[in-house]
């Protein structure tokens, strides 16, 4: 599924048959960015502040600074600092690196940390510098001016959103497409854990297959995974956008929490990012050593689709035939497993034409 040396979005597939679901509300974050912002970015250098959990990662940060190897696409100008050096006083909205590093308890993921007050895309930093960075390195930004969504959509990335990308390396290409499900689950589990630890009511953040996060029927986040194949390894850049604290235009975690609880607690990006990596490292190890089956039960509890009935329209020359199928789970390759009214099992693939994956699915009988 992944071609050699080409950067591919996990979720692009070809088209034939259509499925209609009830209409989905519009995703909140994928809106056009202003060209003024892009122009501003092309003139000012991009600031990257490097830091590390332990002295080993701090040494890597220093050597990345002295070798000046980190690059942006189109040779955008970069200025590198090593934390706690700072280019200018941080604003009160700035990501607090020390809070994040203090709560991070991992052995590998998140330990080399790159923060920027504003950059085009964290995904670009990670994917363009993949081979220079240790596995598990993360880049987070307060604001992105050219955030990337899946299928070449732009991803609006204002202040208040958690915006980050990190590196993963995998040997087995067959399971690479399942990685985005492990990441989705690590986000929802991290939010649950923070609720638990702070005596808060649960926020019902759910996974909309394949890689959206929904809260109260609205998109609150999304996951983008791209990969290249090099020296027999799959180099995966995983990017996550999650609306933590920006009420515009629709939904964010803190607004929903305020409706549910009188407590003054607010989710912070630093806590969520650390909790994410703490969860992800455990789930990822289970996934690698025991397979996705070890996570399936939890995944099906968290996604929106068990038993969901969808209408498949198959175009047979002149006629359009409609069939209802009911979603049962995932197939081993990560597509939707469904059963028809005739008890025929089938696999549903997105057709790659529609922003809403459920609006175009190809059916393949099993
Ligand atoms: O289209 C989607 O639903 C996935 C969007 C992923 C957006 C995140 S924000 C952080 C990272 N950097 C990017 O440019 N994109 C991802």
Q: Please give the Cα distance from 215 to 201 (Å, whole number).
A: 14
pLDDT of 156-188, one tens digit each? 899 999 999 999 999 999 999 999 999 999 999
What pLDDT is recorded for position 320?
76
Can you tell me the ipTM of this complex? 0.99
What pLDDT is recorded for position 364?
83
DSSP structural state of residue 198 = T
pLDDT of 274-293, one tens digit each? 999 999 999 999 999 999 99
What pLDDT is recorded for position 38?
53
Domains in the chain, start-ordered, CATH in brackets? 26-302 (3.30.930.10), 309-365 (no CATH)
C-beta of 212 in contact with ligand 1 (< 6 A): yes
| Number of alpha helices (DSSP H) and beta strands (DSSP E) in the chain | 8, 16
pLDDT of 306-362, one tens digit each? 999 988 877 778 887 888 899 999 999 999 999 998 899 999 987 776 667 777 677
User: DSSP readout, 282-295?
Assistant: HHHHHHHHH-THHH
Average pLDDT over residues 63-79: 93
3-state secondary structure at position 356: coil
Q: Which atom of ligand 1 is nearest to the CA of 157?
A: 9
Q: How far is the CA of 363 from the centre of ligand 1 (A)?
A: 28
What pLDDT is recorded for position 263?
85
Higher pLDDT, residue 24 or 148:
148
Q: Which atom of ligand 1 is nearest to the CA of 149?
A: 1
- Residue 12 pLDDT exceeds 60: no
Local confidence band at 51 (pLDDT 50, 70, 90 cut-offs): very high
Are 90 and 66 in contact by the 8 Å Cβ rule? The answer is no
Q: How far is the CA of 157 from the centre of ligand 1 (A)?
A: 9
Share of the chain above pLDDT 70, in %: 87
What pLDDT is recorded for position 42?
58
C-beta of 239 in contact with ligand 1 (< 6 A): yes
Local confidence band at 10 (pLDDT 50, 70, 90 cut-offs): low
């Amino acid at each position: 599924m992944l071609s050699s040396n080409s950067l591919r979005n996990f979720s692009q597939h070809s088209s034939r048959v259509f499925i209609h679901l009830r209409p989905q509300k519009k995703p909140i974050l994928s809106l056009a960015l202003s060209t003024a912002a892009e122009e501003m970015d092309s003139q000012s250098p991009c600031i990257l502040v490097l830091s590390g959990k332990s002295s080993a990662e701090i040494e890597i940060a220093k050597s990345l600074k002295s070798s000046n190897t980190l690059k942006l696409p189109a040779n955008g100008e970069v200025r590198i600092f090593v934390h706690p050096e700072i280019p200018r006083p941080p604003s009160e909205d700035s990501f607090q690196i020390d809070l994040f590093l203090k709560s991070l308890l991992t052995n590998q993921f998140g330990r080399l940390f790159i923060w920027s007050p504003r950059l085009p895309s964290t995904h670009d930093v990670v994917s363009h510098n993949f081979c220079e960075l240790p596995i598990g390195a993360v880049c987070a930004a307060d604001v992105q001016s050219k955030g990337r969504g899946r299928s070449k959509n732009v991803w609006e990335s204002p202040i208040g959103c958690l915006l980050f990308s990190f590196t993963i390396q995998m040997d087995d290409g067959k399971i690479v497409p399942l990685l985005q499900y492990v990441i989705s689950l690590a986000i929802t589990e991290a939010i649950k854990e923070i609720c638990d630890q702070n005596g808060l009511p649960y926020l019902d953040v759910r996974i909309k297959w394949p890689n959206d996060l929904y809260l109260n029927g609205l998109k609150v986040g999304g996951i983008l995974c791209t990969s290249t194949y090099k020296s027999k390894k799959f180099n995966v850049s995983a990017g996550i956008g999650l609306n933590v604290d920006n009420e515009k235009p629709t939904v964010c975690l803190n607004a929903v929490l305020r409706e549910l609880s009188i407590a003054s607690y607010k989710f912070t990006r630093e806590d969520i990012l650390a909790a994410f990596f703490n969860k992800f490292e455990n789930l990822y190890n289970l996934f690698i050593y025991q397979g996705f089956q070890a996570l399936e039960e939890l995944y099906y509890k968290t996604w929106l689709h068990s038993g969901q009935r969808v209408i498949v329209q198959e175009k047979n020359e002149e006629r359009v035939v409609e069939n209802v199928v009911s979603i049962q789970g995932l197939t081993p390759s990560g597509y939707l497993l469904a059963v028809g009214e005739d008890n025929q099992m089938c696999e549903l693939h997105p057709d790659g034409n529609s922003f809403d994956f459920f609006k175009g699915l190809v059916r393949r009988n099993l």
